[in-house]
Each structure stands twice: as C-alpha cells, then as structure tokens.
Copies of this chain bind each other. A is one copy, B any other.
C-alpha cells in the first residue's frame, strides 16, 4: 500500500487537511504531520534555534496525526526522518485555502513542504484551492487521487514537486488541466501605516495584487481561465542564463585583489 505523509501550512485543525485525510485514508496508508498552529507565508523556514515538540493529536478520541511546533518544512523533515519508518512514498501538502501561484510560491509554506519533500528525495505535491472563503474541498480531495497516480505513472523526476492549483468551481465548470510554469510577474502592494492606542506607528502589508505578464503557460494565467494548473518545481534558484553570461564578465582586476603571494 502506498504510504503518504500529509501536511499543510494552515495547521493541523484545518478542514483542507482533514478533507485529504478522509479521502485517502481507506486506500492508502496515510500519516498526518502538520504544524500545531497556522504557518502561512513562512516560506521555506526551518527551526534551528528552538527544539521541536511533537504531540499526538486526536479527534473525537481517535488518533489523527502529529502536531509539530514548527513550520511545514519542519513537519516534512521530522515526519520523514523520525516519525515514519520507512519514509513515505509520497508527500501531499494542503489542501490550502487560497491559491499559491506566481512569486507567491516562494512565500508559501504549503509549497515549501512539497519542495522540502522533493529535496529529501520523496515525490511530493502541494494542492491549493483558489478561494479564501466558503471552500468546498470535495473535488480537490478527489483530484488528489489523480495527482498521486500521475506522480507514480509519470515517474516524476526525483527532486521535483508538483504545485497544483484548483479553481473553486464544481468540476463540470472547470475548463481544463494544464502543466504550467511558475509566473514571475510583479506584485502591486503597499503598506498601510497606522497608529496604535499608545501613539506608536505600525504597518500592515496590504493591497497585494499579482501582475502577470500574460504568458498563457503561467500558473496564474491558467488558473484565471478556470483551469487546473500543475507546475513542476525544483529547488534550484540558479539563473542559468546569467550564469553563462556573467562568467565572461569577471573583471580582470579581481585577480589583483586576491592571491598576492
């Protein structure tokens, strides 16, 4: 039986995680390892300066999984290296409340759990639903079965994770399923400056709006067209075009800065 680690960044109480668990638990060997509190926008953070606590977590007196005092990436690390033996075959992160497309991918704890899994050599996927209110996880949970099969059948390259974003629509309204690229468009955002009751200034990040370049192969564009977006991600941030170009541009005088012996 395929063994699956389930995690998320909305925390172990999140309905999106429960939807995955209920959908998959009869046909797969699933293990929930999730943050004990919400960990959105934590990026690829890991906990080094504090110890991690792991608590058995039950719902209605029945064991549900492990709650970890850390980030989604922490959950994957400790799940793979301590709590599951042998390690899982697949890691699924989600179902996230809200899309994770474009540069948001870099801020997303949900996605970083999947890239951490890929980094540990385990096939992984993050699944996000494109709404923040009144979510219906029925179809996304069902679609997670397809993602599991696709990962296995396509023999997903080690070190790769799939970032799946699903429109918040009934399946018959969804217009297609596309393999996409992460958008790299810019954000329009600003800070709201406020004054607290004691006269101190504070700031809220607000007014975020993703401005994409309209590339029809981008995750955000595909999602905006009511299609499911599946982006293969790896953990290599190298800009290979600049790698090639800059190598020929190293200044001659740098040689005089070093190795004077």
Closest B residue to A143 by beta carbon equals: B257
Let me know if A238 and B243 touch, CB within 8 A: no
Distance to closest chain B CB from A164 (angstroms): 12
The answer to whether A174 and B259 touch (CB under 8 A), given A46-B41, A150-B251, A205-B48, is yes
The answer to whether A203 and B52 touch (CB under 8 A), given A191-B82, A249-B154, is yes
A260 to B159, CA, bound (A): 35
The answer to whether A171 and B232 touch (CB under 8 A), given A38-B49, A181-B243, A202-B51, is no
Closest B residue to A246 by beta carbon equals: B179
A134 to B180, CA, bound (A): 47
Let me know if A239 and B201 touch, CB within 8 A: no
A173 to B232, CA, bound (A): 42
Q: Which of A15-23, A85-93, A182-190 makes up part of the contact surface?
A: A182-190
The answer to whether A238 and B231 touch (CB under 8 A), given A43-B46, A78-B203, A260-B172, is yes
**Count of chain A residues with Cβ under 8 Å from any Cβ of B?**
94
Let me know if B41 and A246 touch, CB within 8 A: no
Closest B residue to A234 by beta carbon equals: B239
Q: Which of A24-32, A57-65, A105-113 makes up part of the contact surface?
A: A105-113
Chain A interface (Cβ < 8 Å from any Cβ of B): 38, 40-49, 51-54, 73-74, 77-78, 81-82, 103, 105-107, 112, 115, 119-121, 143, 146, 149-150, 153-154, 156-157, 159-160, 171-182, 184, 186-187, 189-191, 193-194, 200-205, 217, 228, 230-243, 245-247, 249-251, 254, 257-261
